[in-house]
Structure 1
Amino acid sequence: MSATEQGRKSVRRTALIMVAVVAGMFGFGYATVPLYNALCTFIGLNGKVSTEAVSESGGAAVDKTRLVKVQFVTTVNGGRNWEFRSEQAQVEVHPGEFSTVMFHARNTEDHDIVAQAVPNVAPTTAARHLRKSECFCFNNQPFKAGEEKEMPVRFVIDPELPPEVDTVTLSYTFFDVTQTAGKSAPASPNS
């Protein structure tokens, strides 16, 4: 085998290795966000909370000796002029006791939209101890032009919440997902 042929084989091998490395980097980069979100949701890191409902049957015993303040913060992403707020700025609850807080939203635009609320919990140590049985964040929320909705959040604070945590902040950011939700989003009168 001549030096020229060996050089060509070496160049081909190097090119194949580089293509494999680039493909691997692209695949890793593509998978990073879903893996990170799944991990954060699973362990409650960065205040990520589950968007699946919990059952209210057979829950933990209510701890009447302790009160936890739960604060509610709302934001609309992208500076849109939608109305979005909780009807109560905060509530005090006993761990293990379910509570319901109503949220108000109104589409102030002259066209239909689909919105999605993304929850976050602070401090991060409280994220895995706040569980919801009902929440508008579980599904996309279609709004007709000018439509208003009253949307409940029913939640419980797990009695296993660390004793040093006496205030939990539940925040929601409303995003416009009209483009990604498509025209097939079901209209829901009470969502």
Structure 2
Amino acid sequence: MGRRDANVKMVGKLAVVAAGMFAFGYALIPIYKHICELTGINILALGETQVPGASRAPANSQVDTARTITVEFDANARGPWQFKPAVASIQVHPGELATVMYEFQNVQPRRMSAQAIPSYAPRQAASHFNKVECFCFNQYTLEPGEKKQWPVAFVIDPKLSKDVTTITLSYTFFEVGAGTPPAPTAAAPSRGGEAG
């Protein structure tokens, strides 16, 4: 009987220790947050409204608001389809993310696959024109009469030379897999003028 009582007593002690450990673990997060608020050790424990100078959306420190660059958009189609930018130009600050839509329509009576190739003017802008998203990364297949809009999201590197104030982004849209027409051949001389 003494051994059974000792076991029940031990189980009771272990249950109290387990409950105490659970309560301590549960209370640890608010205790830690309160200690951090009091001592200022971890500023992340403070709410946004308590942090001096905090705002809802942190400003992008990479944007050069002192400069404005005009980006002009051009579209060239190599084939019977319609291809154009939604806007002719926009003004952006270097380091600022911008998005422009391009419109494309297959006006042919057949399915076609096409892809766009970009070019830049001046040439030095090419290495500073960083496209985050671009329809030029892929080939597209459109059904007869199908119309699509595709985005170009880009950032101009603030390291771009300060004398560049205008960049032209030009796309040439061409059909992929289309047969190349045969080269013209010289006309055969007519036989009507020959003596028999």
Return the structure number with greater helix share: 1
How many Å separate the matches in 2 of 1:133 and 1:60? Answer: 18
| Residues 15-26 of structure 1: pairs in structure 2 closer than 5 A | none
Contact 1:60-1:158 within 8 A present in 2 as well: no
Alignment correspondent of 1:177: 176
Number of aligned residue pairs: give it.
120
| Residues 116-131 of structure 1: pairs in structure 2 closer than 5 A | 116-131=115-130
Show CA shifts across 1:52-81 (max 9, x none): xxxxxxx8700001000000010011xx23
Alignment correspondent of 2:160: 161
How many Å separate the matches in 1 of 2:102 and 2:150? Answer: 5
How many Å separate the matches in 2 of 1:179 and 1:60? Answer: 47
RMSD: 1.4
1:72 maps to 2:69: no
- Larger RCO of the pair (alpha carbons < 8 Å, separation 6+): 1
Structure 1: runs of 5+ lacking an equivalent: 1-58, 181-191
Contact 1:60-1:159 within 8 A present in 2 as well: no
Q: Which runs of 4+ in 1 moved over 6 A?
A: none
TM-score by length of 1: 0.61
Alignment correspondent of 1:98: 97
* Aligned-partner residue type, residue 148 of structure 2: K
How many Å separate the matches in 2 of 1:71 and 1:60? Answer: 25
- The alpha-carbon deviation at position 141 of structure 1 amounts to 1.2
TM-score by length of 2: 0.59
Alignment correspondent of 1:84: 83
How many Å separate the matches in 2 of 1:60 and 1:76? Answer: 38
Structure 2: runs of 5+ lacking an equivalent: 1-59, 180-196
Alignment correspondent of 2:62: 61
How many Å separate the matches in 2 of 1:70 and 1:81? Answer: 27
